[in-house]
Amino acid sequence: MGLSVTHRTRVPATPASDHAEVVWHDLECGSYRADLPLWRELAARNPGPILEIGAGTGRVALELARAGHVVTALEREPALLDALRRRPGAERARTVCADARGVELPQARFALCLVPMQMIQLLSGPSERARFLSRVRATLRRGGLLACAVLARVDPFACASGEAGPAPETVRIDGLLYTSRATRVAVGRTQIVIERERRILEPRGRSTLKALAASRTRLLRVEHNVVGLERLSPRTLQREGGAAGMRVEPVREVSATADHTGSTVVMLRA
C-alpha cells in the first residue's frame, strides 16, 4: 500500500484513547457526503450485491445497506470494521477484514464494486493496480461495474511557509477534544503527500469552540500523520482497466466542496 505514517508525541502520564483510530477516521473522512448521490445512483442502476473496498467505519456501505442494498464492506483495519459493525444498519451489511491486494473474493458475485475516496491511489504502482484490477474483474458478474474515485486536482500548500491552510476539523467525545488539521500537501513526480497534525486536548469549559478560541485546553497528545497517494490520472487507470479486460465507460465527476477537493470517478465494466 501507499505511505501511511503516524508519529506521536504524548504528554507524560496522559491516558491513551483506545478508540482514537476510529475517531480520527470519522473526523477526517466520515462527514464527507458529496459522493453519496453518485454511489446511490450507481447502486440503483446496477442491481445486485455490492462490494465496497476500503469501507472504513461504513460511511458508504451503511448508507447503501440502509437503503435496502446487499453490501459487503471490505476493510483491512480491524478497529474501523469493529466500529462499522456497531452502527445502525450494520446488520444489513456483511463485513470482511482483509487487505484488498491479497484477499480471495468469490467469483462472479458482485454487480457493483465501489472504491471511494482515492483508495485506489494507496496501491503502489502499476503492478499492484494490475493485480487489484484482475481480482476485481473476476469477482464482478458479467456486465458488473467497477467505480474508482481518483483525486481530480490538488493544490499544494505548506503551513510552515506561512500559508493559512484549511481550518481544523474538531469533535468532542467523552470529554476530550480531538482536532485534525492538514498542514502540508506536496505534489511530487510520483506521489501526493498529505500531512496532518492531530491533537487530543482536554477542554476547560463546556463549549468546544470557545475553549479553543480562548486556549482553555490542556494538550494530551500530538500526532503527525503522513499519507502518500500515488499520482494517477483517470486516463492511466482507464488504460490499465482495459488491459485487465474491462470495458471503459465515461467518467463521472464529484464536485469539490468547501472542505474537500473534487474527484473523477473512473468507470470500468466487466
Phi and psi dihedrals of 78, rounded to 5?
A: -60, -40
| pLDDT at 8 (0 to 100) | 45
Measured CA to CA, the distance from residue 226 to residue 182 in angstroms comes to 10
* CATH numbers and ranges of domains, the chain: 4-16+154-229 (3.30.160), 27-152+232-269 (3.40.50.150)
| pLDDT at 207 (0 to 100) | 56
| pLDDT at 206 (0 to 100) | 59
Element (H, E) at 254: strand 247-254
Tell me if 117 sits within 8 A of 29, measured CB to CB: yes
Tell me if 85 sits within 8 A of 78, measured CB to CB: no
Per-residue model confidence as pLDDT tens for the chain (270 residues): 444 444 444 433 333 444 889 999 999 999 999 999 999 999 999 999 999 999 999 999 999 999 999 999 999 999 999 999 999 999 999 999 999 888 888 888 999 999 999 999 999 999 999 999 999 999 999 999 999 999 977 888 888 767 777 888 999 888 889 999 999 999 999 999 999 999 999 887 655 555 555 557 889 999 999 999 999 999 999 999 999 999 999 999 999 888 788 999 999 999
Q: 108 CB contacts (<8 Å, ≥6 apart)?
A: 138, 139, 140, 141, 142
| pLDDT at 12 (0 to 100) | 33
- Give this prediction's pTM: 0.88
Q: 206 CB contacts (<8 Å, ≥6 apart)?
A: none
